[in-house]
Structure formats: structure tokens, C-alpha cells
Chain A
Amino acid sequence: MASALFDSLCALFDTEDVGGAVEHDPALIAELSARLESSDESAAFEDRMATLALCDAVEAGSAQTPVDLMDLEIRRWTEGASSSVVPFGARARSGPLTESFLPLAAASESGNKAVLCRSQSGIWTLEVFVSPDDANKGYLLLSVHPDHRATYEGRTGRVFVKLGEDERVLAEEVVRKGEIYTAVSLAGLDLHARDAINVTFA
């Protein structure tokens, strides 16, 4: 039994070399496990394994929340919120809307070729494509979440970067079909690490 234990232990760690002929005795492993595990760590471990398994199952699923349930919850979550927070619809009607895109949190792995991120509010997506033959030129695509398209359609978006006290306007375009797409100059900008892009809608 002792040699079987030793063999089992060694073979267990041999993840890639073990062939089909090797078979472990669950009882030996159970004996070892029973004597090795400390309770706090093993509970946390089991919890972690269960969470991973559940995440896999959830990702594999396609069920969608019933609309009535979602509507009910949205009402519950948005009613009674602090009055100091202006409801989104009211903001849209009452004054300029602003969006900001933090630098780089979203830089892609392809270096300076593209930047993609969502605005802090979560409803706008910004993509900047660098021209393949001129790193100082690029194209900016701003797209709004479909649920909010009506709010912004026809408004003029002013896209700018703050440089100290000054603002450098990259583009000023009307939102059409939920998007602004325009050529921009990227000269002197560092969208990955320094310059946040802001947009106001009038």
C-alpha cells in the first residue's frame, strides 16, 4: 500500500505524461485528502470551484429575463432614488449632455492602431482607428446604445480633449442613426495613457 500511495502521489502530479493505463485508487487519494486539508481553505476552494462551474453553465445558457420581471425591477430600482440625481430623460431635455472616455483603460493589444472603450455612463462606445499610413490621422466612431438612440438623434456632438486649461476640439458632428463617424487629427495626443476624450451634446 505504501508504494501504491507513493506511486499514486507521483502520478497525480504527472498531468501530461500519464497514459490511460495508470489508474488511481480513489481511496488512497481520499486518505491523503482527509489528512491534508485544513477546513477554511478547503471550504473556500469548494466555493471557488462551484462558482466557476456555475459561471460556465450561465454563460452556456441563453435564457432571457422575462420582460415583465425586468420592468418591475427597473421601477423598483429607480423609484425613490435621491432627488439630487437628475433622471436621465430630464437631463437630455434640460441641458447639454456630457460623456467622458477615460484614457486607455481600453487600449487594444494592437498598440496605437486602435482604441476602444465605453463612456463612463456606459451608453456610448468610442472607437478610434489610426490611419495605416499616417499615425497622426485617424477616424473616430462614436455609437450610442440602441436604447438611447432616440435621445441623441439629431444632436450635435462636440468631441474634445482637455489639454491643461485649453480644449482641443477633435470633431463636431451631428448624431445620425446613433453614430458619429468622422476623420480626426491625432497629432500630439496620447489616447492610451494621458488624454481623456470628452463629448458634449447640444
Chain B
Amino acid sequence: MAGLGASETSDDLSLVRAVLARDTHAAEVFLRRIGDTVWRVCRLLTGDEAGAREAFAHVLAGLRADQFARLRHYDGRSRLETYITAATRDLLAQRVLQWLRTEPRKGWSAFEKLYAGDIRRVILRRLPGQHHEEMRKDAYQEICAAFVADEYRRLSGFNNTGSFSGFVLQAADRLLIDFIRTVHARRRMPAAIARLSALDQAVFRLVYWQEKPADVRLLAEALAGLDPRPSADDIAASLAQVLAQLPQGYESASQAARVTSLTDADAERPDRDGLTPEERLIAQDDERNIAAAAAALNAVAAELAEADRLYVRIVLGSSEPLPAREIARLMERPVADIYKLKQRVLKQLKAGLEERDAVKNWLASV
């Protein structure tokens, strides 16, 4: 028998309504239905059995509180398990927030257990691949350091608008963006390298930014997608050329990484010290170009329908192309919809961007 989705949620809603009506039998059925879901969330987000037991009691007390106030929001549009999973996490998050304000050390310990997985997922999304492994570790440390700074000011200052988890993960993503931008500022291509051929620059990026070994065979594999495909001799020559042109004392990405928090309004922009006048001009030009293009893209995106904006957000939230199936899962839509959505968004973005002077100027300058 198939097609039970609507039936299941309809039954779920009936069950919740019976609980709200104080039907003791329904309450027992409800508890048996959601118990394992709540328990698994507690186990995942507290780390140990004792913590999970305490959390379990806390969550069920939260669901029961104020005449089951939390259950009143359930409208049957989602599965009961999904709703309860989100409610459980939110109740644990509220407890963490309370502890951060009253018992900061205990709060931080619980915070890390609650959000470590989510923060690492956010980081992996923007810094995918094995070659970013070290950078991901650094990013996690930096995000945690920023949260801990000033007696957990960023976290305890949450103004109770919206979900605390959304607030935390958005803050983590902003801190991560800062981190990446800071490293990127340090990774700006030296002017001497920027004057070399496309192959030389590709070799430079692989060796000095992605820190791949300067091995011709490995580099040839990484550069196999270039057209025309470079030979081993070409790559060896590029390696020599890059080495000859590299400014004295130039450091690879991980050696040069230094973090400056940019999420505060008065924070500094990435450090430009040490750039030559030519490099500084290139940097300023880059900044103008990206600002113009982003402003235009921003204006176009604001005119998109909600689903289209969500699609853009998902695509831009990841540093690698996502399979349509994954986007469909995140958007809770059929895969076929995603292809249509993509075509529509691209068409709108293209039309919108082409109409804007900023982009015309930008494209003309390329």
C-alpha cells in the first residue's frame, strides 16, 4: 500500500488534537509515538546517556508546559517526527542559552555538544574537499573563539527573535565567511604571477593556494580538465616559471592564514599591508568589480519569487556544485522541479544582470 503521506499527517494532527483535549489515552499513544525520536535527538545533541536522560525529561516537560502550548503550533503539514525533532532541538537550545547567561561554562560545554556537528556541516559546505581539511579545522577553532570572546557576548546577546539555532548557525556562517575572506586577502595572486599564462596561474593556485605537492604527475591529474590538456613538460615548465616569478618570501595559504573578525560593524577590512602599489591597484579594482556585480545580483535576487530565492541561497551556500537531487531534498520538491527552477532562475538572473549598467561596465572591463 502506498500513498500514506497525507493519511499519516492527518492522523498525526488528530492525535495531537486529542492530546490538547487532555485525552489521557491519546497522551500515552503520543508519548510512545514520539519517545524514540526525542530520545535519539537528546542522545545526538548531549553526548552521553546521563545528559540525554536529563535532556529527555527537560524536553518532555517543555512540550507539556503551558497546557501543551508548543503542540498547538503543529498544523499537520509536516510529519510529527519532523516537528518533534525541531521542537526538541529548540528546547535544548533554549536551555543552552539560559545556561550561557547564568552558568557560562556549563552553557558553553552544552553549546559545543549541541552545535559542533552543525557548525562543521556549515564549514564543510563552504570549504569542501580534502585539500581544505586543515582550513576547516582552523575555521572551526576561529568560530568557537569568536563565540567565546567577551564572555560569550555574541551568543548571550541573542534577542529572542526567531530561532536561537538559526541565529547561531547564521553567525557561524558569517564568521566563516570572514575567515575565508581574510585568508583570501592573503591569498591574492601576486602581480608577477597574474601576468603569466593561464596554465602558470592554474599551477600556482594548485601549489600555493591548495597546497598540492609540486609533483608533475599529480598536477597533471588535477589539470586534466584544461583545454588543451597540458603535457607533463608544459606543467614542469610552468612550475619552473612560477617559482622564478614568485616574490621573495611568498608564503603558501596555510602559512599565511591570519584571522581578523569582520562580523563586528567596526571591524577592519582584510589587511592590505605588504602589497606593492601595482598589487594594491589590482586589489582595489577587484573590490570594485565584485561589489558592482554583487550589488546587481542582489537587486535581481530580491525580485525573485520565494522558492527561487531559496534555490539561489542553497546554490550560493555551497562552494561546490550540488546535485539536483540534493537541492530537491533541501527544498522538499521533486527533482524534476529543480531543473525547471534552475532554468527559470538563470533566465531571470541573466536578463536582470544584463540590463544593469554596473554589470555592463564590469563585463566590458573583463
Chain A residues proximal to chain B, CB less than 8 Å: 1-3, 5-6, 9, 11-16, 18-22, 24-37, 39-55, 57-59, 61, 63-66, 69-70, 72-74, 76-78, 81-82, 84-85, 87-88, 91, 102, 105-110, 114, 116-118, 120-123, 127, 145, 147
Assuming A5-B289, A13-B345, A78-B27, what are 14 further A-B pairs, CB within 8 angstroms? A12-B316, A15-B315, A25-B319, A29-B316, A32-B316, A35-B298, A45-B314, A50-B118, A50-B166, A61-B44, A63-B39, A74-B32, A106-B6, A121-B29
Residues of A within 8 A of B10 (CB): 102, 105-106
Which positions 168-192 of chain B face chain A at CB distance < 8 Å?
Answer: 169-170, 172-174, 176-177, 180-181, 183-184, 187
Q: In the complex the two chains form, what is the Cα distance from A41 to B225 in whole Å?
A: 37
Check B319 against A24 for contact (C-beta < 8 Å).
yes
B2 at the A interface (CB under 8 A): yes
13 residue pairs from A and B, CB less than 8 Å apart = A1-B289, A2-B286, A2-B293, A20-B225, A24-B321, A42-B313, A55-B81, A58-B41, A61-B43, A73-B57, A77-B64, A81-B27, A122-B29
Chain A residues, Cβ within 8 Å of B187: 27
Interface members, chain B 77-107 (any A CB < 8 Å): 81-82, 85-86, 89
Q: Quick one: given A81-B27, A122-B26, are A22 and B162 in contact (CB under 8 Å)? A: no
Give, as a whole number of angstroms, the nearest-CB distance from B68 to chain A.
9
A46 and B169: CB pair below 8 A?
yes
Closest residue of chain A to B181 (Cβ to Cβ) is A30
Binary interface encoding of chain B residues 118-143 relative to chain A, with 1 for a CB under 8 A from any of its CBs, else 0: 10011000110000100000000000
Contact of A106 with B342 at beta-carbon distance under 8 Å, contacts A3-B366, A46-B173, A54-B44 already known: no
Roughly how many angstroms separate A28 CA and B38 CA in the complex, as a whole number? 40
**Which B-chain residue is minimally distant from A84 (CB atoms)?**
B22
From B121, B225, B290, residue with most partner A Cβ within 10 Å: B290
Determine which residue in A85, A108, A116 has the highest number of CB atoms from chain B within 10 A of its CB, and name it: A85
Is B363's CB under 8 angstroms from A6's CB? Answer: yes
B126: contacting residue among A13, A26, A106, CB under 8 A: A26
User: Which of the 9-residue segments B13-21, B149-157, B230-238, B243-251 touches chain A?
Assistant: B13-21
Q: How far is the CA of A151 from the CA of B67 in the complex (A)?
A: 29
Pair A35/B294 contact, Cβ less than 8 Å: yes
Q: When the two chains form the complex, which single residue of B170, B286, B345 contacts A46, counting CB atoms closer than 8 Å?
A: B170
Contact yes or no, B85 A51, CB < 8 A: yes
Instruction: Select one of B4, B117, B181 contacting A116, CB under 8 A.
Output: B4
Residues of the B chain whose Cβ atoms lie less than 8 Å from the Cβ of A87: 24-25
Q: Are A74 and B31 in contact (CB under 8 A)?
A: yes
Using A12-B321, A53-B121 as known contacts, say yes or no to A109 and B225 having CB atoms under 8 A apart. Answer: no
In the bound complex, what is the Cα–Cα distance between A22 and B1 (angstroms)?
A: 44
Q: Are A34 and B177 in contact, with the CB atoms below 8 A? A: yes
Which of A15, A26, A35, A47 is close to B322, meaning CB atoms less than 8 Å apart?
A: A15
Which size class do B's interface residues fall under?
Answer: 35 or more
| Bound form: Cα–Cα A88–B30 in Å | 14
Q: Are A54 and B89 interface neighbours, CB within 8 A?
A: yes
If the complex has contacts A1-B289, A44-B162, are A26 and B132 also in contact, measured as CB distance less than 8 A? Answer: yes
The answer on a CB contact under 8 Å between A61 and B40 is: yes
B310 CB contact (under 8 Å) in A45, A50, A108: A45
Q: Does B277 contact A (CB under 8 A)?
A: no
Label chain A's interface by main secondary structure. helix
**Could you give, for residues 54-70 of chain B, a 1 whenever the CB lies within 8 Å of some chain A CB and a 0 otherwise?**
00110010001000000
> Contact at B23–A105, with CB atoms within 8 Å?
no
Asked whether B126 lies within 8 Å of A30 as measured between CB atoms, the reply is yes
Bound: A15/B312 CA distance, A: 12
Among B224, B321, B339, B345, contact of A18 (Cβ-Cβ < 8 Å)? B321
A116 touches B7 (CB 8 A): yes
For residue B351, CB closer than 8 A to chain A, the reply is no
- A contact residues around B318 at 8 Å (CB): 12, 29
Give which listed residue, A30, A76, A81, A121, contacts B180 with CB less than 8 A.
A30
Whether A47 pairs with B329 at a CB distance below 8 angstroms is no
- A45-B44 contact, Cβ under 8 Å, with A2-B366, A27-B181: no
Would you call A2 and B289 a contact (CB within 8 A)? yes
Given contacts A27-B187, A121-B18, contact A46 B366 (CB under 8 A): no
Within 8 Å of chain A (Cβ to Cβ): is B144?
no
User: Is B327 engaged at the interface, CB distance under 8 Å to the other chain?
Assistant: yes
- B145 part of interface (Cβ distance < 8 Å): no
Structural contact, B342 and A36, CB atoms closer than 8 A: no
Contact B24 A70 (CB under 8 A): no
CB-CB contacts below 8 Å: B280-334 with A? 286, 289-291, 293-295, 297-298, 301, 309-310, 312-324, 327, 329-330
Whether B315 contacts A27 by the Cβ 8 Å rule is no
Which chain A positions have C-beta within 8 A of B324? 15-16
